[in-house]
Amino acid sequence: MRILPLILAAASALASTVAAAQPTSIAHEADKPWLHAPTGLSFPAEVGGLQRTGVRRFSAPDVDVAAIYGNADESEAITLYLYRNTSGDVPVWFDRARVAILARRQLYGEITPTGVRAFVPHGQDRASGLMESYRTTGPYSSTMLAVLPVKGFYAKVRASSASKDSAALEVLVREILDGIAWTSDRQHALAAAVADCPAPLPTGKPAKQIAASREDRMMSAILGGLVAQVPANPKAEPAAPPPTFCREPGPAQMTMGIYRPNASTERYTIAVGDAGQAVVVGRNELAEIAAKSRQPRYSVSVVRLHETASFADFSALPSPEQVIQMVGSSRPTSVATTWGQQRTINIDPR
């Protein structure tokens, strides 16, 4: 397939551009629950007989955090992650985390998946989460993954054990999941494992970028900021069902993957890493209306957990290779913050 393998230097630059900052420790009382204010979720001081050994922040305050649990000899490890829902869906981010596990042969040795299963998170009324356990032959004998949505965030559970087999580890993780109230103020979609798209994106000539005037940069910033900040209606089902993402066919990449809503040939998301950050590419009808032009416009936005960076539009859908090269080597036309009390829009003056 033409998209993969990607140009390694450009892909590395893109991952560096989108990646979160180095983790920092969050002060907490070791013997008391730690509260994540935006969701109201409380991480206990102990889960499954394991003590909480730390709470970490991976990005801007509150948008990407983790509570880490383990025992003295490090033979058991469980981490509860929370990261903001700014792109994709549960199947996309479960798939990215799953790829990362299957690629870590140096840690897990031979990895045997037991099959992806949907589950109903405690406090919700539908199977909005996905889980899978794995038999391994490395220092750990089993490992496990679960991803679910909650209050505008994704929660991810990662567990590994040197003493439990995959079935016993799954029992433990289910007990931990059932011990936390994942009550949400939103109606979440049913989750199912992501599948390959029926056909790859069409090939063609490289798309041309549209020269961005200052007005274009201003409009791009406003539209990018508004789209990223509009929350889903927490009180009712959406007027239209959410899109079902499929995976662009080709060999799996640990650093990034390409996903298309409803197998679209006009939109796709490049999921970078496995914690919610992405590059979103697609037809920008709002910009076309604002520009009073019949010329199609396709936007490229780097969606981080606390800000959205917009780039100059294209006159046709750019290929993933084009997008990766551009984002990894050029400056955005604007950056809009989407989290926190202070919201700003910075526009490139060029």
Would the pLDDT of 8 be above 80? no
How large a percentage of the chain has pLDDT more than 70? 83
- CA distances 52 to 40, 49, 76, 122, 142, Å, are 18, 10, 12, 21, 20
* Residue 68 in tokens: 């880490």
For 286-327, how does the pLDDT look when each residue is reduced to its tens digit (9 = 90+)? 766 666 667 788 989 999 999 999 998 899 999 999 999 999
Q: Which of 3-7, 167-171, 311-315 has the highest mean pLDDT?
A: 167-171
Q: Among 344, 346, 340, 338, which residue's Cα sits nearest to residue 87?
A: 338
Q: How confident is the prediction for the chain on average, in pLDDT?
A: 86
For 225-249, how does the pLDDT look when each residue is reduced to its tens digit (9 = 90+)? 444 444 433 444 445 678 999 999 9
Distance CA 147, CA 7 (A): 30
Query: Beta-carbon neighbour count of residue 87 at 10 Å?
Result: 23
Q: Which residues of 165-203 are buried (b: 16+ CB within 10 A; e: fewer)?
A: ebeebbebbbebbeebebebebbbbebeebeebeebbee
Distance CA 269, CA 278 (A): 7
pLDDT for residue 4: 40
Distance CA 31, CA 328 (A): 44
For 176-230, how does the pLDDT look when each residue is reduced to its tens digit (9 = 90+)? 999 999 998 888 999 999 999 999 999 888 899 887 666 666 666 666 544 444 4
Helices (H), the chain: 8-18, 90-102, 105-108, 166-178, 214-229, 285-291, 320-329
Distance CA 345, CA 217 (A): 11
How large a percentage of the chain has pLDDT more than 90? 63
Distance CA 164, CA 48 (A): 13
For 64-120, how does the pLDDT look when each residue is reduced to its tens digit (9 = 90+)? 999 999 998 889 999 999 999 999 999 999 999 999 999 999 899 999 999 999 999
Region of 297 please: left (phi>0), alpha (psi -120 to 50) or beta. Answer: beta
Q: Are 316 and 339 in contact (CB under 8 A)?
A: no
In sequence order, the β-bridge partners of residue 144 are 133, 159
- CA distances 321 to 159, 205, 261, Å, are 35, 12, 19
pLDDT for residue 287: 66
- In degrees, rounded to 5, the angle at the alpha carbon of residue 248 between the alpha carbons of residues 244 and 252 is 115
Tell me if the bond preceding 5 is cis, omega within 30° of 0.
Answer: yes
